[in-house]
Amino acid sequence: MYQRLPSLKALRAFEAVVRHHSATKASDELHVSSGAVSHQIRALEQELGLRLFDRSSGELAPTAVALELAEQVRAGFDLIFGAVQRLRLSGDPSFLTIGCDVTFGILWLGPRIARFQERYPGIEVRLDLTDSDPDTSWRSVDLTIHFGYGQFPDYEAIRLTSESLSPVCAPVYVHGTSTATAIRSPADILSCPLLHVEWFEPDTSFRTLAWEKWFAAAGVETGGVKLSGMHFSHTANALQLAIAGAGVALASDCLAADAIASGSLVRPFDIRLQLPRDYYLVYGGSVAGLAKVAAFRDWLVAETEPLRSL
C-alpha cells in the first residue's frame, strides 16, 4: 500500500526551480505564473514539514536536503516519462526502437540497417545511439546493442561479436612514402603516429594501455617509453584519422570492416589483443515475443555470425 504522495504538480515546480535556480525560469518552462510556482513550493514545504529553500537573500536557494530530493524527483520523472513513451511506442507493432552503442551504431549497424528495412518494409526503425548501460525501463527502447561483459541481470542477452584489437592504417604506411614510415615489422609501428582509444576496463589491468599491451603481445620491447599520440573516446574518431593517413589505430574487425573492405584501411599484421568485452544484443523478456523484436534479433544474429568466429 503506497503512502500518500505529495502533489505531482508541486514536485514538478520544485524540481524545475532547483534545476533552473530561478522561480521565473521555472514558471516559463511550466507555462504558469511565478506566483503559482511559489505557491506550489510553499505547499510542498508545508506538506513535507521541511524547509526546502533559503529565502534570506531574497532568492530561492535550495537547501542540502532540497538538492538531494530534487535528484530523486528528477529520476522518478525520468522513469515515468520512459514508461509512458515505452507504452506509446510498443502500442504500435510497426515501430521498432533500437538503443545502440554509439561506435557500433556509427561504424557497423548504421551502414547495414537499410538491409533490415528492405527485408521488413513494414517495420519502422528508430536508432537511439548512446553509451549508457541498457535499461529498458526508462530508455524507451525495444532492445539495445551494448558493449559489455555479458552480465545483464533481468535481461536476455545474445553475444554478437568476439572482440579483439589489431593495428589498422592507411595503405601508404604499408607501401611507404616520403611522408609515411614503411611498416615491415611490428616494431616499425613505434615510429608511426599512434592513435589511442581510451579503453577503461574495471577490475582489470587493461585500462588505457591498449598500445602497450599490443606491443607486448607482438614481442616488441618499448623500453618503458611513453607512447605518445592523439587520444579519442570513440574508435570512430581514431579510424577517421587513420583513413586520412594521420597515424595507426587499434580496432576490432567489426568496427573497421567497411574501411578495410573499401581499401581505405589495411591491417599490416594479424596479431590480436583480445578484449574482455564483446557486443551483445540485450532485451527484456517482456518484448521477446514481439514479432518486430524477433525479426530484428534473427536478422542481426545472422549478419554478425562472421564476427563471432574470429
Has residue 18 got a pLDDT over 80?
yes
The residues, ordered by sequence, that sit 6+ positions from 200 with a Cβ below 8 Å of its Cβ are: 207, 208
**pLDDT tens-place string over residues 88-110:** 555 566 789 898 988 999 999 99
What confidence tier does 178 reach under pLDDT thresholds 50, 70, 90? low
Buried b (16+ CB within 10 A) or exposed e, 19-40: eeebbeebbebbebeeeebbeb
What confidence tier does 296 reach under pLDDT thresholds 50, 70, 90? very high
What 3-state class would DSSP assign to 164? strand
Has residue 8 got a pLDDT over 60?
yes
Domains 8-88 and 164-274 share a fold: no
Has residue 2 got a pLDDT over 90?
no
Has residue 22 got a pLDDT over 50?
yes
Integer CA distances (angstroms), 100 to 131, 137, 148, 199, 280, in order: 8, 15, 12, 18, 10
> Which CATH code fits 92-162+277-308?
3.40.190.10
For residue 286, with 0-12 CB atoms within 10 Å meaning exposed, 13-18 middle and 19 or more buried, which class applies?
exposed
**Highest CATH level, class, for 8-88:** mainly alpha
Q: What is the pTM of this model?
A: 0.69
Residue 14 CA to residue 79 CA, distance in Å, equals 17
Has residue 115 got a pLDDT over 70?
yes
Tell me if 292 sits within 8 A of 142, measured CB to CB.
yes
Q: What pLDDT is attached to residue 208?
A: 55
Q: Give the mean pLDDT of the chain.
A: 85
Number of other residues whose CB lies within 10 A of the CB of residue 269: 14
Has residue 310 got a pLDDT over 70?
no
**pLDDT tens-place string over residues 184-211:** 999 999 989 999 987 665 555 445 568 9
Q: What pLDDT is attached to residue 202?
A: 56
> Which CATH code fits 164-274?
3.40.190.10
What confidence tier does 243 reach under pLDDT thresholds 50, 70, 90? very high
What 3-state class would DSSP assign to 129? strand
Arithmetic mean of pLDDT, 39-55: 87
Arithmetic mean of pLDDT, 215-229: 86
Q: What pLDDT is attached to residue 218?
A: 94
Arithmetic mean of pLDDT, 118-146: 79
**Domain spans of the chain, in order of start:** 8-88, 92-162+277-308, 164-274
Tell me if 173 sits within 8 A of 166, measured CB to CB.
no
